[in-house]
């Protein structure tokens, strides 16, 4: 198959969406398929044998790391040369609208996928009044596709409740060969804890932005003595959070990649994830694979991954003491924590990337053969 992939975010940006796309491209190419990626220009022209066409864009005002790129006639010419069997648009917003247009104008089958719960993000940027309008736009865009994919059962239901049609689940995946508990190190723990490896160490990995609700971790640090927080990642809310966490034992680490990132997961006592707007939370699976117990909000797609007190800990995001109680339980009960770690690793091992990509390939084939 020849797949044209339109995405609003790609390398060198690092997040859960990009991770999924990179793994997908890798396994599609290995399977003999050919992929061409259309994304905002990041200076990358090839990935795992797939050609990358970078469209010029401008930084998003609320999130400068993201670029708004718009479709151009050049993209149409590139598609004519590539001759895709199918177009897949990821989070259609700007560039993705071009994918939808070219799908219709060139009579190419279309798949769309939903990875970011944008309507829920709006309230964190003071734009909650626009939620209804955004859902109308998403419904109009997604209903152009022969198939819409979501990465959790909660998001499947959310889209169906908004009138979006032909919605299926795209199963989760994680690199269990890379993310291993055995990569824990005293050196990394000392680095994350700023030289205090004997303190309890909480870890956050992900975008440092308003919708991630990282500020809600502060009461945990205040309630539990000798507890430290390492925040791995970057984003538009970093400076505001530095002020917010002033006076606490918080280390803003910045980006980590590859084995350093795996070591960070494996070296921490717990991964804390307060976001209530996740479509899935791929980073949770990475943490679990690395043997780092998860404490997360019982919201969105997270319950698809975490089963409370079995392979992690869930808390009510509306309960101000919920995360504190869950964290205390994890830190104070060593025997239970060790069992949760083992269960978390077993859960992660069920979800290797090749299985997720095989499922996607079958979806593609069905759409191409017009059986939906």
Over residues 260-282, the mean pLDDT reads: 94
What pLDDT band is residue 314 in, cutting at 50, 70 and 90? Answer: very high
Average pLDDT (320-324) is: 96
Q: What is the pLDDT at residue 66?
A: 75
d(CA 154, CA 302): 9
pLDDT band for 51, please (50, 70, 90 cuts): very high
Cβ burial 69-100 (10 Å sphere, 16+ → b, else e): bebeeebeebbeebebbbbbbbbbbbbbbbbb
Burial state string for 275-302 with b = 16 or more CB within 10 A and e = fewer than 16: bbbbbbbbbbbbbbbbbbbbbbbbbbbb
What pLDDT, on a 0 to 100 scale, did the predictor assign at position 62?
66
H or E element: which one contains 34?
A: strand 34-40
Residue 297 has pLDDT above 90, yes or no: yes
Instruction: Grade residue 121 by pLDDT with cuts at 50, 70 and 90.
Output: low
Task: Give the pLDDT band (50/70/90) at residue 68.
Answer: confident
pLDDT at 125: 67
In whole angstroms, give the CA distance from residue 176 to residue 356. 13
Cis peptide before 12 (omega within 30 of 0): yes
User: Which residues does 92 contact at the CB level (< 8 Å), separation at least 6?
Assistant: 6, 8, 99, 100, 112, 141, 142
Task: Check residue 260 and give its pLDDT.
Answer: 97
9-44, pLDDT tens digit by residue? 999 988 889 999 999 999 999 999 999 999 999 999
5 contacts 113 by C-beta, under 8 angstroms:
no
Kindly tell me if the per-residue pLDDT of 371 is higher than 60: no
| pLDDT value of position 60 | 74
Pairing mode, if any, of strands 50-55 and 34-40?
A: parallel
Looking at the DSSP bridge assignments, the partners of residue 3 are 35, 86
The tens digit of pLDDT for each residue in 185-201 reads 999 999 999 999 999 99
Set out the domains of the chain in order of their start, with CATH numbers: 2-173+352-368 (3.40.50.2000), 181-349 (3.40.50.2000)
**DSSP tally for the chain: helices H, then strands E:** 14, 16
Cα–Cα nearest to 317, from 348, 287, 281, 269: 281
- Residue 59 pLDDT level (bands cut at 50, 70, 90): confident
Q: What mean pLDDT is predicted for residues 118-136?
A: 73
Spatial distance between the Cα atoms of 294 and 345, rounded to a whole number of angstroms: 11
């Amino acid at each position: 198959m020849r797949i044209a992939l339109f995405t609003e975010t790609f390398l060198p940006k690092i997040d859960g969406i990009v991770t999924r796309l990179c793994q997908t491209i890798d396994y599609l190419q290995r399977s003999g398929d050919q992929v061409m990626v259309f994304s905002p220009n990041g200076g990358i022209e090839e990935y795992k044998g797939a050609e990358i066409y970078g469209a010029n864009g401008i930084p998003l005002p609320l999130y400068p790391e993201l670029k708004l790129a718009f479709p151009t006639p050049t993209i149409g010419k590139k598609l004519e040369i590539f001759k895709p069997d199918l177009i897949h648009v990821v989070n259609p917003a700007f560039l993705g609208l071009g994918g939808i247009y070219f799908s219709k104008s060139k009579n190419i089958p279309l798949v769309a996928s939903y990875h970011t719960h944008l309507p829920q993000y709006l309230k964190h940027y003071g734009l909650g009044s626009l939620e209804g309008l955004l859902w109308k736009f998403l419904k109009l865009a997604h209903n152009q596709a022969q198939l819409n994919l979501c990465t959790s059962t909660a998001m499947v239901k959310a889209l169906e409740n908004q009138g979006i049609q032909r919605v299926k689940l795209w199963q989760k995946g994680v690199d269990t060969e890379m993310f291993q508990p055995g990569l824990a190190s005293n050196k990394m723990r000392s680095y994350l804890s700023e030289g205090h490896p004997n303190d309890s160490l909480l870890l956050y990995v992900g975008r440092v932005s308003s919708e991630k609700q990282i500020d809600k971790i502060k009461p945990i640090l205040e309630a539990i003595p000798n507890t430290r927080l390492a925040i791995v990642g970057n984003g538009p809310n970093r400076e505001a959070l530095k002020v917010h966490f002033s006076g606490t034992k918080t280390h803003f680490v910045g980006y980590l990649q590859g084995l350093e990132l795996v070591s960070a997961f494996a070296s921490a006592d717990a991964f804390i994830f307060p976001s209530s707007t996740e479509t899935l939370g791929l980073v949770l699976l990475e943490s679990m694979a690395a043997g780092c117990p998860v404490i997360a909000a019982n919201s969105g797609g997270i319950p698809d991954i975490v089963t409370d007190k079995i392979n992690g800990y869930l808390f009510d995001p509306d309960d101000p003491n919920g995360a504190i109680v869950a964290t205390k339980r994890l830190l104070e009960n060593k025997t239970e924590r060790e069992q949760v770690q083992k269960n978390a690793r077993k859960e992660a091992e069920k979800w290797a990337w090749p299985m997720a990509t095989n499922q996607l390939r079958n979806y593609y084939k069905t759409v191409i053969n017009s059986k939906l």
